[in-house]
Every structure is written in C-alpha cells, then in structure tokens.
Chains A and B, each alone.
Chain A
Amino acid sequence: MNRRPRRSLALLTLALGAAAAGLVRGEIYQAPDAFVAEVFGSRPAPKVLWLTQDLQAQAAAILGHSPAQLRQRYWSDSRKSVWILEEIGKEELITAGFVVVDGRIDHVRVLVYRESRGQEVRTPSFLKQFKDAKLALGDRLDREIDGIAGATLSVAAMERMARLALFFDRTSRK
C-alpha cells in the first residue's frame, strides 16, 4: 500500500474514531437520577438486586447474552419500581428508564442514546406501545411492539430491556 491510500485510510479511521468518541457520551435526554426524582418526587435511596446464577441465566435468556453486571440497582416503593437499564442497539449502549407499577409498565423513557441512527425509539408514539405491557408466558411481552424502519436493532433492544425490567420487578417483589 503506498503512502496516499494509507494516509486516506488512516484519516477515514480517525474520522470514524473521532465520530465514535463523540458519540460515546451520546445524546443525554434526561439524567438517570433526574428521571428517578421525577417518578418519586424525591430521590429515594437505591436498592440492589443481586443476580444469582439462576437469575443470571434467566436474564441471559431474555437478553440473548449474559447480563453485564452482577448487581442491578433500582428504586421502589410499595407499588412501583424504577429500573435504569442499558443495552446495546447496534454498536452503542442505549440507556432507558422503566417505571413498573403492579407488574405492568407504566411508562418508559430513553435517557441516553448513543447510536448514530435510530433515535426514533425515543418518540412518545413509539414508547406508548409499552404502556401497560406485562410479562406473558416465557417472559415475553403480552403484545407485539411495532418496529421502526431503520431502527430495528434499537427497537429490539428496547423490547429486551422492557422484558428485563418486568422480570426484575417480579423478582424483587418475591
């Protein structure tokens, strides 16, 4: 490879790297702690759900991969719980907040979006599909979530996180 193509490849890679680095922090729509404070009116102390081997296996079945960490923090009162979850859409993590009331999703919000495409998953018209969703047989949602053209992987990630939030809520109340 002569110098010029090599330089252009390096520049392309650096440009992609710089773009990726710029997106690492992503678009922050709402800070996770502000989301928790909005739901409860104040910021309660977090609780922790430890993922035992059994829970890890069940979470892995929902996610399609092992959970990234061994403990999951959440916030709850007698009826509702809040879960801030992260899942990769295509290449970067999507951070979303899930509010679960009486075993059903009350509302969902995309808090940080780091992918370069697929931001449509944060629109209310998409997120309202999760309203009142609960777990059905096989820890699947009791409804189909309509996809978004060009955001298929982000939609799938949101659905996985919704199932996980409901599963964690059920587990934390046992």
Chain B
Amino acid sequence: MSPRLLLLRLLRRWHARIGFAALLFFLILAVTGLALNHGQSLGLDGRFVHAEWLARWYGIKSEPPRRVFRSGHHVLTAANGRWLLDGKISGEKLPQAVGLVELADVFVVASDTALHVYRENGELIEKVGPGALPGAPVRAIGSNARRIVLRTASGVFASADALSWRPASERSVRWSVPAELSISEQQAYEEALAPGISVEQLLLDLHSGRFAGRYGPLAVDLLALLLVTLSLTGAWLFLVPRMHRGRH
C-alpha cells in the first residue's frame, strides 16, 4: 500500500474518531451558540432558571424567607429578590418588601423605593416609582379608612388612589407588620424563592466552558483545536483523492 493511501486511511480513521468523540460537545456549542445569537428575540435575558443545585453550583448563597406579610386575602413572602404573592412569583430583581395593605378592590405592596398596586386578581395596575411618591424611602405602609398611608423619611402621607398624596396623621392607622415564618413554612417557601440564574448567563457559561469552572474554557479551547483539525482533515480527505484522480 502506498504511503499516500496509508495517510488517507489514517486521517479518515482519526477524522471519524475525533468527530464522534466530540459530537456531544459540538452539539452543545452549536445549540448554545444558535440560542445566544437570537437571545434578544427569544427573551433569554428575561428568563431565569431557579434550582437549588444550580445556585449551589454557582456558589450563590440562597437566603431563606424569614418573614411574611398578611392582609385579609393576600400573603406576601420574599427572598433572593423574588416575591411570592398569593403563591405566585411576581418578578425578578425586586427590592425587599416593606409591607402589604388591602383596600376595597386593590392591594398595594410597598418597598422602600416604590409601590406596586395590584388588582384583586394579582394583575399589576401600576408601579409607582420614587418620583411619584410623596417621600422616600418608604419606611412603612398601612391603611386607614380606605386610604393607603405611607410613613416616609419626609413624613406621613395618605392617598385613596396612589396618585395624589396628602400629609396625614398616624392616628388609627393599621400598619402592615411582618410575621415570622415557622421553620416548616420557611422550607415550604424556600424552593419557590430559590435564587435564579438568567438563561442567557447560563448559555454563555455553557458556550464558553465557564460553567465547568476554571478549566472549562481550556476544554473549549481544546474543542476549538479539534474543530480546526476536523476541518483540515476533512478538506484533505475531500480534495486529495480528487486531485489524484485529476492527474490520471
């Protein structure tokens, strides 16, 4: 057998072996790359994966919920930037809640910088930001005769609609006060309030190899070299027999 034929056979064998061995990793690279390329339209940065094991893998310490706010019909507990409102998660990267009050057909959750006004069914009516608050930070929220009452750094204010505010007295205000969660309640809520990793971050880490720690990017570098090898051997296997046939 000629040395050229031997070389071709050797290359073909190793081309197949390398391709098969790296198949799974190439698939991961291709799929994560495709997804990242369309991350904006897929809304990947706004989606989060919440799992205890993933948070542990990332070394993120999960904060267990410790307190709960209860009004007549609504329950709010919070941890790790997430609110669990009547058993439903209401968003990510949310500030620590200060209190919860319920009026006739709406209920309001206060954080130190904003009010979240909800319909009875949990639909967000409006997020009232710092510019629309009578004072900031908000230190407590309560209710008094169908009015929302806020205790802020600038004083106490009341409003019937969270639009216009008037200075008010603290007299006969029922302030929202948190209750401590029992250990069993903490455990029940902890899983739902686990910290999240954005899908985009997760895909980026998988694509770059950082998900596997310090040596992950080196493994991806090795895969890149394997891909270069596959391209070169593939080109060789494709071209050389044709060139040889062309000479005869």
Contact = CB atoms under 8 A, between A and B. Distances in A.
Interface stretch (A64-72, A135-143, A161-169): A64-72
Nearest to B164: A45
B123 A9 contact: no
A91 B45 contact: yes
Given A32-B131, A69-B124, A70-B125, A48 B45 contact: no
B216 A5 contact: yes
B126 A5 contact: no
A48 B40 contact: no
A10 interface: yes
Contact of A13 (B40, B58, B126, B164): B58
Contacts of B45: 90-91
B163 A46 contact: yes
Interface residues of B, number: 29
B246 to A, nearest CB: 47
Contacts of A48: 163
Contacts of B58: 9-10, 13
> Considering residues A1, A88, A90, which has the most beta carbons from chain B within 10 angstroms of its beta carbon?
A1
A24 interface: yes
A108 interface: no
Interface in B55-72: 57-60
A1 B125 CA distance: 45
Nearest to A35: B131
Nearest to A24: B93
> Considering residues A9, A16, A24, A68, which has the most beta carbons from chain B within 10 angstroms of its beta carbon?
A9
Interface string B187-230: 00000000001000100000000111111100000000000000
A117 interface: no
B135 to A, nearest CB: 12
B119 interface: yes
B132 A32 contact: yes
A5 B126 CA distance: 43
Contacts of A12: 210
Contacts of B164: 45-46
B40 A4 contact: no
A7 B213 CA distance: 9
A7 B59 contact: yes
B127 interface: yes
A33 B131 contact: yes
Contacts of A69: 124-127
Contacts of B119: 70
B133 to A, nearest CB: 9
A153 B40 CA distance: 9
A131 interface: no
> Considering residues A20, A45, A73, which has the most beta carbons from chain B within 10 angstroms of its beta carbon?
A73
A82 to B, nearest CB: 12
Interface in A1-22: 1-2, 4-14, 16-17, 20
Contact of A68 (B40, B124, B163, B214): B124
Nearest to B58: A13
A2 B58 CA distance: 12
Interface of B: 40, 45-46, 57-60, 93, 119, 123-127, 129-132, 163-164, 197, 201, 210-216
Given A6-B213, A16-B201, A153-B40, 15 more contacts: A1-B212, A5-B213, A8-B213, A9-B58, A9-B211, A32-B131, A32-B132, A45-B163, A45-B164, A69-B125, A69-B127, A70-B119, A70-B126, A71-B126, A90-B45
